[in-house]
Every structure is written in structure tokens, then in C-alpha cells.
Amino acid sequence: MEGEPFDSGGWFDEVMPRPPARSTTTAPRLSLRAPRGATLVAEPRLLDGDHREGERYERADLDGGELAGITLQECVLEGVSLNDTDLRGARFIECAFQDLFAPVFRAPRSSWRETSLRSTRWGSAELYDSTLDGVHLDGGKLDYVNLRAARLTDVLVSGCIIGELDLTGVRATRLALTDCTIGTLTLDGAQLRDTDLRTSSFRGIQGIDGLRGVTVDEYQLQLLAPFLAESMGLRVEG
């Protein structure tokens, strides 16, 4: 019912994950809280440049909408479809998202702060030139994620299946990919500090020089050996 307040009851509440024992890599600093008292809006009518605060949208169809520059603050979105919705320059502040769906997700130059996303299903996600600060992406399936030239600070990606993750030109501090399965990871020109790839798997990596500043485990190092040898022009013969 529209106007009904939403009490998360702890849904999406998170605290900063503990780093592995004896790790010298600083984990993302997260302390996310679900919005309290968000009001259910049954049929949201959003416009570009809108500023919405404390609202909840459930199973809403926002496909193809023109929402460039919109700001959502302390909002909850559950089961919302955003296929080919124009979210250029959008701002998401202290929001909680679950089951977002979009074969084409268009949000370049967007800003995400202290926001959780769970069970996200995106085909192509255009997030280039975006800023992510204090973000947790958990349990999603994404075919292609374009984060070229993005700025990432305190970002945790966990339990996701990603076909291609493009971090070309990214500047990241305290980024962790945990228990993820990733097809191709592209790192050309990336500048990474306290970036942790342990427990995630990759079929291929492009831009091997971008691994500077990254933490891997011993098993991953073995898998990386052929890529490292190729980048250095080494020939390995028995």
C-alpha cells in the first residue's frame, strides 16, 4: 500500500568484513545500514533530475525511463526492472537494492555511496567514469561490467558470477573480489591499492601490468604464471 512505512528489520545491515589472518592488505571499510522507515510507493513516477528520499519501490517497471541526474537517498529498491533506463550522472546515497534486473544497465558517470546491491542481474552494465564509495555488490550475475576510468574506494564484490570485468584505467583503494567467478579481468592502466583478489577465480587476465598493488593467494599465483611469463617475453621449456 502506498504510504506504508518500510522497516527493514535488519535487512542489508552489514559491518566491515574481517581481513584474512596475517594479511597486510587493508580490507574495504564498510558499515552499511538499511534505510529505516522507507515509504512504499506502489507506482513510482520518476523524472530526470528528481531527488527522492526515504522511498521504497517494489517490483516496479522503470524500463526505458529518462532518469539522468536523478538522486535516490535512503531508498529501497526490490525486484525493480531498469532495462535501458538512462541513469547517466545518477546519485545513489545510503540505498539498499535487491534483485535489480536489466539486460542493459546504463549508468555512466554515476555516484554510489554507502549502498548495497544483492542478487543483481545485469547483462551489460555501463558504469564507466563512475564513483563508488562504500559499496557492496553481493551475489549477482553480470555478463559485462564496464568500470573504465572509475574511482573505487571501499568496494566489496562477493559471490558474483561476472563474464567480463573491465577495470581499464580504474583507480581503486581497498577493493576486494571475494568468492567470485570471473571470465576475463581487464586491468590495462589500472592503479590499484589494497586490492584483494584472493578466493576468486579468473579464466583470463588482460593488462597484466595492472596487477601491481594486488594481493593474490598461492594457488592464484600458479595460475598467473603463464600470463606473467608472456608479459615478460619468457619462454618456458622443459
Residue 20 has pLDDT above 60, yes or no: no
**pLDDT value for 222:** 78
**pLDDT value for 11:** 47
Distance CA 93, CA 87 (A): 14
**pLDDT value for 18:** 46
**Among the listed ranges 8-17, 32-41, 185-194, which one has the minimum average pLDDT value?**
8-17
Number of residues written out for the chain: 238
Identity of residue 22: R
Residue 10 has pLDDT above 90, yes or no: no
**When comparing pLDDT for 149 and 233, which is higher?**
149
Residue 229 has pLDDT above 90, yes or no: no
Q: How far is CA 48 from CA 80, 91, 139, in A?
A: 17, 11, 29
Number of other residues whose CB lies within 10 A of the CB of residue 229: 13
| Neighbouring-strand partners of residue 115 | 135
Q: How many CA atoms lie within 13 A of 212 on its CB side?
A: 9
Q: What is the pTM of this model?
A: 0.87
**pLDDT value for 15:** 43
Across the chain, mean pLDDT equals 90
pLDDT in tens, 93-148: 999 999 999 999 999 999 999 999 999 999 999 999 999 999 999 999 999 999 99
Residue in the block written with cell 544483492: 118
**pLDDT value for 13:** 53
pLDDT in tens, 174-227: 999 999 999 999 999 999 999 999 999 999 889 988 988 899 888 887 777 777
| Neighbouring-strand partners of residue 77 | 57, 97
What lies within 8 Å, CB to CB, of 81 at 6+ separation is: 60, 61, 62, 63, 100, 101, 102
Residue in the block written with cell 564513483: 131
Distance CA 142, CA 144 (A): 6
**pLDDT value for 105:** 98
pLDDT in tens, 156-175: 999 999 999 999 999 999 99
pLDDT band at 22 (very low <50, low <70, confident <90, very high): low
**pLDDT value for 212:** 86
Q: What is the DSSP string of 73-107?
A: ES-EEES-B-TT-B-TT-EEES-EEES-EEEEEE-
